[in-house]
Structure 1
Amino acid sequence: MPQRAATIVGGGIGGLAAAIALHRRGWRVEVLERAPEFTEIGAGISLWPNALRALEVLGLADAVRALGAAEATGGVRDRQGRWLSRTDNAELTRRFGHPLVVLHRADLLRALTEALPADSLRSGSEVSALRDDDRGAIVEHGGGESRADLVIGADGLRSVVRRALWPAAAGPRYAGYTAWRMVTEPLAAPPAEGAAIWGRGERFGYTALPGGRMYCFATASLPAGTVSGTSEHAELLRRFGSWPDPVPALLAAVPVDAVLRHDLYDLPPLPTFARGRVALLGDAAHAMTPNLGQGACQALEDAVTLAHCLDGTPDVTAALHSYDLLRRPRTQAVARRSARLGTVAQLSWPPAALLRDMAARLTPARATLRSMTPVLGWTPPGAAVTR
């Protein structure tokens, strides 16, 4: 069989993972990234056991784990700082084979780019048009035109590929809350445990990164497009500066100009992730809220599943149909679950928030962990089931 070619639109985590999976199967790959360089402007990222299982397929699990920190314990606290639920990472590792690993997004992206030939990475290549005809799939971009046996749209929430081939699909929808993300400077005595603190229409979370730094995030229920009257750092101090320890100390350790803010969106369910020789992957297919920490994890699952479906058949269209059947029900179910959790965590009416906290406090930790099995227990297609 002659060497097959794939063009991946989008140089984020999912697109690079798909390129690695195909490259290692003998495909000629090119990754088109509209930004001037392959980098990640972000903060921390959580990689759950299912993501590490996908990285094992790519041969990168050990390297990525070495870049991150495994959270020992974590859980949810209330506005007064009392624990509502706790998760033992040792039990999570025993049950699912891997710990929860947290690392900086830029470090993960670097590990992925280094696993690909340098000449396959084309930055500054913004896609302007896409068509799929009898001669193959053709992508027009800033560097010219690319013809491929397969095109993967991994270009995020506002995907150009999705708009080109799914023009009638509904656009992203606002989740009802905005989010801040930040990384502290190294701390002399970082918190021993991570946590998400649930308030009323607000949340603040933190977890350890290597080198004594902490990754922090916060949310607030606000209309889309709300602009802070001051700097984002000052807005965080106003909202969360009096929250329970260690929140004030964490905010004090965040550089004033290092706070990222984004309104949160998800994507209404698509009827298919594949059309002809074109497939959608990651946020372009199933953008979800970050409440389960599964956005990048599901993109990594997508990548190895897509490559598996392409094994052993020259029929790209049939392979993409199989990919759609495997990935669409699962990812859309995870997205719904994440949205539900966000709705509960953002409750602002005091009686409802009180009932939420009571329910969380009364739920056994083992039951919480067991409920995550449908998400974290994923096994790569073709792999032996060991649990």
Structure 2
Amino acid sequence: MSTAIVVGAGIGGVTAAVALQRSGWQVTVLERAPELGEVGAGISVWPSAVAVLEELGVKGVEKSSVQSKPAGIRKPDGRWMVGAPDLGMELPVMIHRAQLHDLITAEFGPAVTVRTGYDVRTVTQDADGVTVDGELRADLLVAADGIRSAVRTAVYPQYAGPRYSGFTGYRGIAEVDLDDGGGETWGHGQLFGFARLIDGRFYWYATANQPAGTKSEPAVFESWHDPLPRLIAGSAKILQNDIYDLTLPLVPFVHGRVVLLGDAAHAMTPNLGRGACSAIEDAGALARHLTRTSDLALALAAYDAERRPATTKLVKRSRTLGRLAQTENPLVCTVRDGLVATAGKLLALRRR
């Protein structure tokens, strides 16, 4: 039986473990944290990623229903720029990261072994396999250890790595009763978004331009339109993390028998809400190509050829949207808001 080591047990890593298991591989998952699990708030799972999870047998990630409440993009005073129906977009499933993680790991079978509290120090490889810390040996290593991937640094020591976006992010889960479909509100150098999770709670996120490493509170949003202040007040805990993505061009996702997956390969800003989805799709693509041919080199080359161009586009688009949403210049903001409103009207007319 072919063997794989997966470094990192976040959403991408555990999905990769399930996908490899279903393809007949024996998998060892190495996680630095003392126990298996996820932290954070909500994430969006778009239909393409939902389809991958369904193929892997993951249950409980239902496809989103049609939005019944007003949703879209607003200004800080609550005026609408564009409604979600005008954009004609498919809706994602909104779910808490920990809940999604539990649903995926529930599919672990006897072919998956998990070792927590394991901090990878060295990675070496030869023509026959890859070795971690001189003790663990496998046919393949999947690096799913995040934006500051130790494995990526080991195989690509000259790569510049993470790049600060210029804005920090706040996240929270609110226990509130709202008659609102959610969406985003764009200000001058600040953004606030929220959506209902499948368990009924509300996930919200906000961004603000500031130097990296600055600790702050989302106080500015307390003067924005309802229900934004209520969401902040209804949150027991608020997380703050500076937003980084990976420097372009991205490095190849394959280096011998080492494969990069998820944020280790293509960390992007959250503006498109595609980070976790891309990691899930990576896992599905990797398993698919490994199943199609017994030639490991060919399978890995096909994985890189499929996923690196696709995710490079997402990194670029997300970065561009982030710059647009976070602009501070009043004149540029006025033009931006006008273009968004006009684009929504044109899309609505086209769909009719």
- Report the TM-score, using the length of structure 1 for normalisation: 0.85
2:157 match: 167
Residue 180 (str. 1) matches residue 170 (str. 2):
yes
2:272 match: 292
253, 256, 275: which one pairs with 2:234? 253
Residue 84 (str. 1) matches residue 85 (str. 2):
no
Instruction: Provide Cα deviations, 1:92-113, integer angstroms capped at 9, x if missing partner.
Output: 45xxxxx421010000000111
Aligned partners of 1:183 and 1:214 also within 8 Å: yes
Structure 2 Cα separation of the partners of residues 74 and 100 of structure 1:
13
2:113 match: 120
Number of aligned positions between the proteins: 348
1:1-387 alignment runs, 5 A limit: 3-60=1-58, 62-65=59-62, 71-72=67-68, 74-88=71-85, 92-93=89-90, 99-117=91-109, 120-140=113-133, 145-185=135-175, 187=176, 189-228=177-216, 235-236=217-218, 238-255=219-236, 258-268=237-247, 269-364=249-344, 367=347
SS of residue in 2 equivalent to 1:127: coil
Instruction: Provide Cα deviations, 1:175-228, integer angstroms capped at 9, x if missing partner.
Output: 00000000012x2x3232112100000111111124442101110000111123
Structure 2 Cα separation of the partners of residues 210 and 89 of structure 1:
23
Structure 2 Cα separation of the partners of residues 77 and 305 of structure 1:
37
Structure 2 Cα separation of the partners of residues 147 and 363 of structure 1:
54
Q: Which runs of 5+ in 2 are unaligned?
A: none
Amino acid at match of 2:244: Y
Structure 2 Cα separation of the partners of residues 174 and 369 of structure 1:
38
1:145 CA drift (Å): 2.2
Instruction: Provide Cα deviations, 1:130-164, integer angstroms capped at 9, x if missing partner.
Output: 01113310112xxx821111100000000011001
More moved, 155-164 vs 201-210: 201-210
Structure 2 Cα separation of the partners of residues 121 and 281 of structure 1:
18
Aligned partners of 2:95 and 2:199 also within 8 Å: no
Amino acid at match of 2:108: L
Amino acid at match of 2:214: T
1:366 CA drift (Å): 7.2
Instruction: Provide Cα deviations, 1:40-72, integer angstroms capped at 9, x if missing partner.
Output: 110001111121122122122x52228x88754
SS of residue in 1 equivalent to 2:36: coil
Aligned partners of 1:71 and 1:194 also within 8 Å: no
Cα 1:369/1:100, change in 2 over 3 Å? farther
SS of residue in 2 equivalent to 1:128: coil
Aligned partners of 2:87 and 2:347 also within 8 Å: no
Cα 1:150/1:205, change in 2 over 3 Å? same
- Report the TM-score, using the length of structure 2 for normalisation: 0.93
Structure 2 Cα separation of the partners of residues 259 and 154 of structure 1:
26
Aligned partners of 2:86 and 2:345 also within 8 Å: no
Cα 1:136/1:261, change in 2 over 3 Å? same
Instruction: Provide Cα deviations, 1:61-89, integer angstroms capped at 9, x if missing partner.
Output: x52228x8875453110122111112239
1:384 match: none
1:90 CA drift (Å): 11
More moved, 14-23 vs 313-322: 313-322
Aligned partners of 1:71 and 1:89 also within 8 Å: no
Q: In angstroms, what is the RMSD of aligned CA positions?
A: 2.2
1:254 CA drift (Å): 1.1
1:261 CA drift (Å): 0.5
Cα 1:90/1:205, change in 2 over 3 Å? closer
Cα 1:90/1:24, change in 2 over 3 Å? farther
Instruction: Provide Cα deviations, 1:287-318, integer angstroms capped at 9, x if missing partner.
Output: 00000000001111100101111113232222
Amino acid at match of 1:147: R
* Identity level (%): 46
Amino acid at match of 2:329: W
